[in-house]
Amino acid sequence: MKKIRAQNDELSSLIKIWEEKLLNIEQALLCSKRNQQNRTIKQIIGHMIDSASNNIHRVVHLQYQPTPLHFPDYAYMGNNDRWISIQNYQNEDWETLVKLWKYIHLHAIHVFAKADVSKYDNEWISGSEERVSLKNMIYNFLPHFQLHIKEVEELMTH
């Protein structure tokens, strides 16, 4: 539980720091530069929203469904790019997108903190047939968040 608390504190801190940074990015930069996955800043933020949303659903399902759980893996075989495209993050209002990013991550922190420790070994089977425990899924959320924040930072500075 200490590790989850520390991770949630770090996520909360990053959200506070990055909300203002994101809101201050020049509009021209939001849609022009692209990362190695050919995503703009708006699309990266949209992907982070999708990731948080999908992980919240997994955390909930893994606490009451039989394990191992077959649950759709939105990131498998390029589906995460389909999600980005279908939701048209590129043309979403930036302030709305940043607020959604902020609040879905704050909710994820809440859900992670309230997850039943006795269910931590429950597993879901990803699209690549990998088994991922509830505990590892929660623990891997922060590094994934940090990876995408770093991508945004690189697009802002280069």
**Looking at residue 100, what DSSP letter applies?**
H
CB 95 within 8 A of CB 31: no
Q: pLDDT band at residue 78, thresholds of 50, 70 and 90?
A: low
Domain edges within the chain: 2-157
Token output for 138: 């929660």
Interatomic CA distance for residues 151 and 55, integer angstroms: 20
CA 6 from chain centre, in angstroms, equals: 17
Find all residues with CB under 8 Å of 141, minimum gap 6, and list them. 7, 11, 51, 55, 108, 112
What is the pLDDT, as a whole number, of residue 40? 94
pLDDT over 80 (residue 139) = yes
**For residue 130, which of 75, 84, 54, 61 has the smallest C-alpha distance?**
75
Number of Cβ atoms within 10 Å of the Cβ of 31: 15
CATH topology of domain 2-157: Four Helix Bundle (Hemerythrin (Met), subunit A) (1.20.120)
Q: pLDDT band at residue 57, thresholds of 50, 70 and 90?
A: very high
pLDDT tens sequence across 9-22: 999 999 999 999 99
Token output for 137: 């899924």
**For residue 101, which of 70, 145, 142 has the smallest C-alpha distance?**
145
Tell me which of 8 and 129 has the higher pLDDT. Answer: 8
Token output for 38: 């050919």
What is the pLDDT, as a whole number, of residue 82? 85
Q: What is the mean pLDDT of residues 114-135?
A: 92
Query: What is the enclosing helix (H) or strand (E) of 73?
Result: none
pLDDT tens sequence across 95-116: 999 999 999 999 999 999 999 9
Give the three-state DSSP class for 84: helix
Beta strands 123-125; 69-70: pairing state: parallel
pLDDT over 70 (residue 50) = yes
pLDDT over 90 (residue 37) = no
Beta strands 131-133; 123-125: pairing state: antiparallel
The residue count of the chain comes to 158
Average pLDDT, the chain: 92
